[in-house]
């Protein structure tokens, strides 16, 4: 009888302890997974790059006093260009602001037969240009659309040839200043690398040039109006940190 009572007491004790053990082994509470990390590209920093493309200069000549006064016609001086750019951008929200200097070698040349002097051809050439501009852009992560504007300078030369090709009059090299506006689209394909395409229009001031013969004698005078259109592809390397990670 005594043994039976001991066994019964042990079973009761085990039954009382079972709920406590079950409570200790309860399932762990559910923990929510951390949100995904979104990478946001930051355009801030200094950059340096190269560009190349095509350009066309529209040149209109007018003969002026003290020689025969009258229009001589217009021509397009076209060709290729290659150069480089350096600048700095800073980003505020989705807006990007920047400053840039660009210098290019060019080979834009063209000519037309003079309307006032049919025995002669007027020839124009641009062999270099520079742009000094400010930028305002809108960024959609690693894609940047921007407009730009500022000063432009071209290195020009002009000459007059006979229809047969002999040199009749020259001006020598000339530096001409004007203004420029443009628009561009740039895509960052790596943390510090981007490629883009850009269009620029140059408004160059009218200039009057005195032409002399190869022997130094006065040959004529012309007022020449000039505008330039440029389309270039660009690649830039940006110095600075990588993209910004945001939760």
> How do residues 107-132 score in pLDDT, each as one tens digit?
999 999 999 999 999 999 999 999 99
**Token pair belonging to 244:** 């910004």
Residue that wins the pLDDT comparison between 97 and 65 = 97
d(CA 38, CA 219): 69
**Per-residue pLDDT averaged across 26-44, rounded?**
67
For residue 201, name the pLDDT band (cuts at 50, 70, 90): very high
pTM for this one?
0.82
For residue 60, name the pLDDT band (cuts at 50, 70, 90): very high
Question: How wide is the angle at C-alpha 106 spanned by C-alphas 100 and 123, nearest 5°?
Answer: 135
Concatenated DSSP letters for 23-85?
HHTPPPPP-PPPPPPEEE----EEEEEEEEEEEEEEEEEEE-TTS--EEEEEEEEEEEEEEEE
Q: With 90 as the cut, is the pLDDT of residue 71 above it?
A: yes
> How do residues 145-174 score in pLDDT, each as one tens digit?
999 999 999 999 999 999 999 999 998 789
d(CA 245, CA 143): 17
């Amino acid at each position: 009888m005594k043994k039976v009572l001991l066994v019964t007491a042990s079973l009761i004790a085990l039954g009382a302890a079972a709920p406590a053990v079950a409570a200790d082994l309860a399932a762990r509470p559910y923990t929510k997974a951390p949100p995904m990390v979104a990478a946001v590209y930051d355009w801030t920093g200094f950059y340096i790059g190269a560009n190349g493309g095509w350009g066309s200069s529209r040149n209109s000549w007018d003969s002026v006093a003290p020689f025969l006064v009258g229009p001589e016609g217009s021509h397009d001086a076209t060709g290729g260009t290659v150069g480089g750019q350096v600048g700095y951008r800073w980003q505020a929200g989705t807006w990007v602001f920047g400053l840039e200097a660009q210098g290019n070698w060019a080979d834009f040349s063209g000519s037309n037969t003079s309307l006032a002097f049919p025995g002669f051809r007027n020839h124009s050439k641009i062999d270099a240009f520079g742009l000094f501009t400010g930028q305002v852009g809108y960024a959609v992560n690693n894609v940047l659309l921007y407009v730009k504007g500022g000063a432009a300078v071209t290195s020009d030369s002009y000459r007059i040839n006979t229809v047969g090709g002999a040199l009749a009059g020259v001006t020598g090299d000339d530096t001409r200043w004007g203004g420029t506006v443009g628009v561009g689209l740039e895509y960052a394909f790596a943390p510090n690398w981007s490629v883009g395409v850009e269009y620029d229009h140059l408004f160059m001031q009218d200039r009057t040039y005195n032409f002399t013969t190869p022997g130094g004698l006065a040959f004529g005078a012309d007022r020449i109006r000039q505008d330039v259109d440029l389309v270039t592809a660009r690649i830039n390397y940006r110095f600075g940190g990588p993209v910004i990670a945001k939760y």
